[in-house]
Amino acid sequence: MKSFTAGQNDAGQRADKFLSKAVPLLPKNLMYRYIRLKRIKINGRRCEISQKIQVGDVIELYINDEFFESKPDRPFLRAPAQPEIIYEDENILIANKKSGLAVHADDSGDCDTLIDRIQHYLYNKGEYDPDGELSFAPALCNRIDRNTTGLVICAKNAESLRILDQKIKDREVKKSYLCVCIGIPAPREGMITTYLEKDEKTKTVRVVKQKTPRSRTAVTKYKVLAQSGELALCEVHLITGRTHQIRVHMAHIGCPLLGDGKYGRNEANRKYGVKTQALQSHRLVFDFCTDSGILEYLSGREFCAPKPWFADKYFKNTEVIL
């Protein structure tokens, strides 16, 4: 038998969600079976699948030792503890991600990701102790593509993660991007609304004319800030947050992103010698309209990434305030 005592970062989760994180080696089908057989108990009583974990709850597991890690792997320790930090406090961290760095582990098996770097950094500071946590690890609240640069929010505790996940869902965190398009959008300011459908096999997204069970509505607002020949520097606001949304939408109106190998123009990319999309998550505004709990102090705050590489390279002689 092994027992856990729930802490602050464990509270509020359903029992099955908590157990999946606290005992990752236990297959889900066995977990549900053991719950039914009363081999998993909370405070000495039968565990209910949907029961919410409370601080101080004692979770007892009468299961084989093979499901508990004796020496858990800490892959984040193999990553550099060097995230570029824009802002940090006791609850959140905002990092500036570089192009080429994935936010999470992917099929490549690379352990050097943004979240690995942040967890290693917080581990070195003594703010993240994986041995003292049952079900929580510092986690990212938003994602950007590997070759996109800019701002990503990380929650340091479970309460901040829950609040920010809801705020982003309710569109109370405003995100704006800067990008370079090949071609000048017409009109120079507008809204793009389409249905997007993702192809899991090719890892690409396409615009479809009609709503389908697999498609999702996507809305993007854009504005041309500057022009240099055939290139346009645009500010883009995401009204929805779909996979590859900006890249697909700008290509859809005939102005693909410079350097975009999936949705762009390869001849133009070769002409300018650019191999990654000119796209930056540039600004975050915490525009809280409802109760924000322990993060109330962030309401109204705005954070910007450093000026992107493509601004001076292609629009150095234009008057652009970033």
Instruction: Take residue 272 and report the two structure tokens written for it.
Output: 């300018």
Instruction: Take residue 183 and report the two structure tokens written for it.
Output: 């071609």
* Amino acid identity, position 270: R
Instruction: Take residue 71 and report the two structure tokens written for it.
Output: 């020496």
Query: Distance between CA 308 and CA 316 in Å, rounded?
Result: 12
Match 């234009």 to its residue by tokens: 318
Sign of the C-alpha dihedral, residues 266, 272, 274, 278?
A: negative
Radius of gyration of the chain (CA): 23
Strands 149-155 and 58-61: unpaired
| CA 263 to mean position of chain CA atoms | 22
Residues 6+ apart with CB under 8 A from 320: 225, 226, 233, 311
C-alpha distance from residue 125 to each of 118, 141, 159, 281 (Å): 11, 21, 20, 27
Nearest to 135 by CA among 48, 66, 57, 79: 57
Instruction: Take residue 18 and report the two structure tokens written for it.
Output: 């908590």
Give, for 100, the enclosing helix (H) or strand (E).
none
Active site members: 145
State whether residue 61 is helix, strand or coil.
Answer: strand
